[in-house]
């Protein structure tokens, strides 16, 4: 076997194992009672309607809230590429799903995973919260957990939703690059 081929096969093996680890973490929910949950934002259409991917996250958070697993939920996002406010849309959706407005904390500065983790950690510190449950897509869970740990949060539960889309074939490899960046450089 030549060196270039050996290197290529080694890289393929590393990527395959990384994808397997990402899926192993993300597809196995770790749901338990916590002090606060956080729903990470995603695209909102220009008319203010959440995308199916965001609806999946919000439906899962609302169901877990109704199950009594946390008293407060943080909705974290920014302004979507459509110009719509993700946090406003997320809060309104959760309220319509039965989550009281006073149980929803808005984080309009959660423009990415690192910002959400930092803002959530600051909120938790200010309110004496010790544990968090992150709600997002399965492929995003490992990076969220890493970002929270980088911000001093140790008691981290997580829940994925049931949404699957064709874009996942692009988003899983993209997530590998993102988590590598977080691990090497921090959020």
pLDDT in tens, 35-47: 999 999 999 999 9
**In 69-101, which positions are buried (b, 16+ CB within 10 angstroms) versus exposed (e)?**
bbebbbbbbbebeeebbbbbbbbbbbeeeebee
Please identify which residue in the block is written with the tokens 């397997």: 20
Work out how many domains the chain is built from and give that number: 1
Read off the pLDDT of residues 4-19 as tens digits, 9 standing for 90 and up. 777 777 676 776 666 6
Burial class of residue 19 (count of CB atoms within 10 Å of its CB; 0-12, 13-18, 19+): middle
Can you give the CATH number for the domain in which 20 is found?
Answer: 3.40.50.620
pTM, 2 dp:
0.87
Which domain does 65 fall in, by range?
3-185
């Amino acid at each position: 076997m030549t060196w270039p081929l050996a290197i290529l096969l080694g890289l393929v093996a590393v990527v395959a194992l990384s994808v397997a680890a990402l899926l192993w973490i993300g597809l196995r929910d770790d749901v338990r009672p916590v002090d606060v949950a956080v729903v990470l934002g995603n695209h909102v259409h220009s008319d203010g309607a959440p995308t199916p991917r965001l609806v999946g996250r919000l439906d899962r958070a609302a169901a877990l809230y109704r199950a009594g697993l946390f008293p407060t939920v943080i909705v974290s996002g920014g302004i979507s590429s459509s110009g719509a406010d993700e946090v406003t849309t997320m809060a309104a959706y959760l309220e319509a799903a039965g989550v009281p407005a006073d149980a929803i904390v808005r984080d309009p500065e959660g423009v990415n995973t690192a910002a959400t983790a930092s803002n959530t950690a600051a909120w938790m510190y200010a309110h004496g919260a010790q544990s968090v449950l992150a709600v997002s897509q399965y492929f995003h869970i490992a990076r969220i957990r890493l970002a929270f740990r980088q911000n001093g949060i140790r008691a981290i539960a997580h829940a994925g939703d049931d949404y699957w889309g064709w874009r996942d074939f692009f988003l899983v490899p993209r997530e590998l690059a993102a988590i590598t960046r977080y691990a090497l450089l921090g959020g």
